[in-house]
A and B are shown apart, each in its own frame.
Chain A
Amino acid sequence: MDLRVQDKEVVVPGQVVATGMEYLPADGAYRLDDEIRANRLGLIKIEGKVIKSIPLTGVYLPQKNDVVVGRVIDILMSGWRLDINSPYSAVLPIKDATFDFIAKGADLTKYFDLDDYVVAKIIQVTSQNLVDVTCKGQGLHKLDGGRILKVGPHKVPRIIGTKGSMITMVKKATNCRVIVGQNGRIWLSGEPDKEHVAVKAIKMIEDLAHTVGLTEQVKSFLAEQTGLSADALTVKEEDLVAERPKDEQRHRRPPRRSGGTRDGPRRRPYGERRQRR
């Protein structure tokens, strides 16, 4: 009839979280007769009537609309295979790779070569865990130079912080460009002496992800390392990047160059007509 645990309590698989029909099991929990049990080691999160468990550690499982940092591991006939730091690899089809036209039989390594890192967004995950990604969209591109850092995928929300506050602070303090993939891969590039400060700060966030008052701790660490005042590091509302538009609005194809009708190709005005080769 009631809850057996408190919010944010650590549970083990099979532990009874609640009894009775009052609550609903969500991600990481299941119903067995009239009990709700956790199915992994994690923190319990109770949202109204819904009970979830958030894993403490584990691998990255791809989800639609996640922005990930992938590494090219294979060049296929019709695209690239990316390692997305997950048990499942992703495929980047030619049509989703770039806005440029890629001719038939072109050398695909010109666009993405083996061992290149790419920021891509997951557009589809099938029931068989075949993952499709795209590179068309705002902020999706190949990563040149810089360095790659790996963190636990479940710590990523903490590294980004609410509305990106944490990572904005790191960027502000170190002047580095940072891209955090949902899959736990982080790309960063900046001045050599500042870069490793950013790396240390991110490692610190990862290690202390479960603690409270982390922002203040990271702030004092960054202030000490960079010599900036804590005030200068305080992230204000206007520093935060506006939340990205939803997928449907963002993933827009560019307009076609020449429209056609059902009656045949559009005829251009005479002067514009191209010479036949």
Chain B
Amino acid sequence: MNQERKKHIVRALAAGVRLDGRKLDEFRPVELKVGVSSTAEGSAMVKAGDTEAIAGVKMGLGTPYPDTPDSGVLMVNAELLPISNPEFESGPPSIESIEVARVIDRGIRESHSFDTKSLCVEKGEKVWMVQCDILPLNFDGNLIDLGGLAVLAALRDARFPKVDEEGAVDYHEKTDKGLALQQLPVPITVGKIGEHLIVDPAQEEEQALDARLTMTMLADGTVCALQKGGQAPLTISEIKEMVKLADAKSKELRKQLLEVAT
């Protein structure tokens, strides 16, 4: 980003105002909806400002990995669609999309809120494989937090499809059984521009970020995953401040997540 324009953003932050008039620690109003796709086992759509993304959960039967014969498989994938932003290009996944997917995946995995053992049908032979896909429809920053939120909502919305006697999956019929999510690991990204810490950066702010830290938070304030990005270093006091911010913000989002009917 052009340094002059970045200075302009920093000057506004010093006055306590963001580019869109928000406060530094203010999230854009988040809209969350589940069951947006009838062909997925679970789906959700999230909107915040101009960022809009859907997440879908597909479930299928497959053979487990040899080193974990009694565990099901959870996969998270994100694709930055060219339709959502002129800066995204089609082709093999970009580093940015891999990061989004892996950070969200890591948050869910390391929180141990998702019991992969319960997905086992027959040890070493047959397990459920859960595939989560994140697709931004319109990108205006902060896809990690919003995509993560959509994935959680979609996982909560997901219902196992019916399996007939021969062991084939019938995707036209859903059972009542859902996935057992013990906790809701909400990822929150706190960005640093100059001396200022902000949450939920829009795209323009994202481009101006010196550093960012994504923290996946549990309800009791446990940090279960971290991801640092950007060139600038962070001091210990800054990280403490960031964790505090993330804890407060994750509580707001978790509350919203629980309010959504599934």
Contact = CB atoms under 8 A, between A and B. Distances in A.
Interface of A: 113, 115-117, 144-148, 189, 191-193, 195-197, 199-200
Given A192-B11, A195-B12, A147 B4 contact: no
B17 interface: yes
A116 to B, nearest CB: 6
Interface of B: 1-2, 4-5, 7-9, 11-12, 15, 17-21, 204
Nearest to A197: B21
Contact of B17 (A116, A117, A193): A193
Given A115-B2, A145-B5, A147-B5, A196 B11 contact: no
B7 A145 contact: yes
Given A115-B2, A196-B20, A196-B21, A147 B15 contact: no
B8 A146 contact: yes
Nearest to B18: A196
A135 B206 CA distance: 31
A191 B12 CA distance: 8
A126 to B, nearest CB: 26
A116 B2 contact: yes
A41 B21 CA distance: 35
Top 5 A-B residue pairs of the complex, sorted by shortest distance between their CB atoms: A192-B12, A196-B21, A192-B17, A192-B15, A145-B4
Given A147-B8, A189-B8, 20 more contacts: A113-B2, A116-B2, A117-B2, A145-B4, A145-B7, A146-B4, A147-B9, A147-B19, A147-B204, A148-B5, A192-B12, A192-B15, A193-B15, A193-B17, A193-B21, A196-B21, A199-B19, A199-B20, A199-B21, A200-B21
Most buried by A among B9, B12, B18: B12
B1 A196 contact: no
Contacts of A113: 2
Given A196-B21, A199-B20, A200-B21, A146 B5 contact: yes
Contacts of A195: 12, 19
A191 B11 CA distance: 9
Contacts of A146: 4-5, 8
A200 B20 CA distance: 8
A144 B4 contact: yes
Most buried by A among B1, B4, B17: B4
A193 B14 CA distance: 11
13 contacts: A115-B1, A117-B2, A144-B4, A145-B5, A145-B7, A145-B8, A146-B8, A147-B5, A148-B5, A193-B15, A196-B20, A196-B21, A197-B21
Contacts of B11: 192
A192 B11 CA distance: 8
Contacts of B21: 193, 196-197, 199-200
Contacts of A115: 1-2
Nearest to A225: B21
A74 B75 CA distance: 40
Most buried by B among A116, A196, A200: A196
B240 to A, nearest CB: 27
A189 B19 CA distance: 11
A231 B12 CA distance: 29
A199 B18 CA distance: 12
A116 B2 CA distance: 7
Contacts of B5: 145-148
A214 B5 CA distance: 31
